[in-house]
Chain A
Amino acid sequence: DAMVIQNPRYQVTQFGKPVTLSCSQTLNHNVMYWYQQKSSQAPKLLFHYYDKDFNNEADTPDNFQSRRPNTSFCFLDIRSPGLGDAAMYLCATSSWAGAYEQYFGPGTRLTVT
């Protein structure tokens, strides 16, 4: 089945220790997104890629970076995680071919100690 896969599902890192979260998709979608979701809150868009074009939300902290080496993979790098960065990180994809719904992966739960 075509899907969005995120690894790892659970990640524990130490305060200030860089961490990378990964996302892959078999849907062959042009657009990939990274969201941050804290408990009982709406998902918050961090950035997205339209093919190789990177788009950063204005309020995304500089501490967050992203890479998309090819169509299928996208990475979220948190350079110096703080306690406030503990959250669920969601990867999503969408096709630019007229259908705008986004398909989400299962998420990575990040804990910062």
Chain B
Amino acid sequence: DQQVKQNSPSLSVQEGRISILNCDYTNSMFDYFLWYKKYPAEGPTFLISISSIKDKNEDGRFTVFLNKSAKHLSLHIVPSQPGDSAVYFCAASAFSSGNTPLVFGKGTRLSVIA
């Protein structure tokens, strides 16, 4: 049973446009969500996070939206740049339940076309 789902394995976006990556989760205990970016043969790099007490968090070109009732979050990148091309992983944690590990989705490969 996959608790964190990224249903789109890939996404192509024109440079300068908005990229929207989606993530759904099933575990209602999750209260902290993170997005990671990963290049081939490298470890994931932390991008942005959001606590369940918020519905939006913004950092530069990256904004994460959380819809708790729908158990859905999304990462918006605007404007998209060719250097954003990578695999993006959504991750969730039941932070308030203690020292629980992150649960990752399968990732979405973003290609930003110049």
Does A associate with B in a complex? no
B interface, CB within 8 angstroms of A: none
